[in-house]
Amino acid sequence: MTTRRKFIQAAAISALPAPTFPPGARAANPRPVPDAVVFDAAHAATRAFGARWTALGTRTLSVTGGDVTALWLEVRVAWVRRRIAVAGLTEPAILFCLENLAWSHGLRVVFHAEHIAMPDGTLQHHVQRDAQMARLTTSHLQRAGALWPTRLADAMAARSTAPAGRRPGPSLAALQPALPEGAQLLTSWIIAAA
């Protein structure tokens, strides 16, 4: 339930100047890279993913405890002014929330992959949407071993733009696979104009 205090805090934050998302690697490299990247601070793989994007010169935003509120307040202001591209490696609930909020700004999930850490330590990767656009396959990520978050970030940074006129529907973020006990699911994604 929204309280008066939360409403006033949200209104005050919304009135602040929009955060500037530095072009980062975009200025030196014409490749279409996201303006901001979200990672979940609770997971080692997502922290490595975020560190790679920081090294590429892209602004990173961390999420803690699955709470998307602070992230949404920051990204929403930018989406109102300019439809920035946002990428991430997070738990599925973060993508689900951001995707639903992005639709009203004309943004869609243009890339989506799932990464499952099995209880025995093995990893399973499944590219759900636009592997060709990211030039990324499941075998690329499998061969990367423990360096898969870095390989994933590099592939997402080098992705080509989606073909003109193509407007994807909702992603499969709401449909989580049945996981064995002790397995952990992370999802990588790009939300952009499509």
Tell me if 181 is assigned to some domain: yes
Confidence band (pLDDT; 50, 70, 90) for 172?
A: low
What is the number of domains present in the chain?
A: 1
Tell me if 168 is assigned to some domain: yes
Q: What is the model's pTM?
A: 0.73
The stretch 58-69 carries a mean pLDDT of: 85
Tell me if 19 is assigned to some domain: no
Average pLDDT, the chain: 75
Confidence band (pLDDT; 50, 70, 90) for 13?
A: very low
Is the pLDDT confidence value at 159 over 80?
Answer: no
Largest CA distance in the chain: 52
Tell me if 15 is assigned to some domain: no
H helix and E strand count, the chain: 8, 6
Is the pLDDT confidence value at 53 over 50?
Answer: yes
The share of the chain scoring above pLDDT 90, in percent, equals 18
Tell me if 173 is assigned to some domain: yes
pLDDT at residue 21, as a whole number: 40
Is the pLDDT confidence value at 11 over 70?
Answer: no
Is the pLDDT confidence value at 18 over 50?
Answer: no
Tell me if 1 is assigned to some domain: no
Tell me if 174 is assigned to some domain: yes
Q: Is the model more confident about 27 or about 129?
A: 129
Indicate the range of 25-29, 81-85, 156-160 predicted with least confidence: 25-29
Structural domain span for residue 148: 29-193
Is the pLDDT confidence value at 29 over 80?
Answer: no
Q: CA 163, CA 177: separation in Å to the nearest integer?
A: 29
In order of 34, 43, 57, 74, 169, the CA distances from 69 in angstroms are: 20, 19, 25, 9, 24
pLDDT at residue 90, as a whole number: 93
Tell me if 39 is assigned to some domain: yes
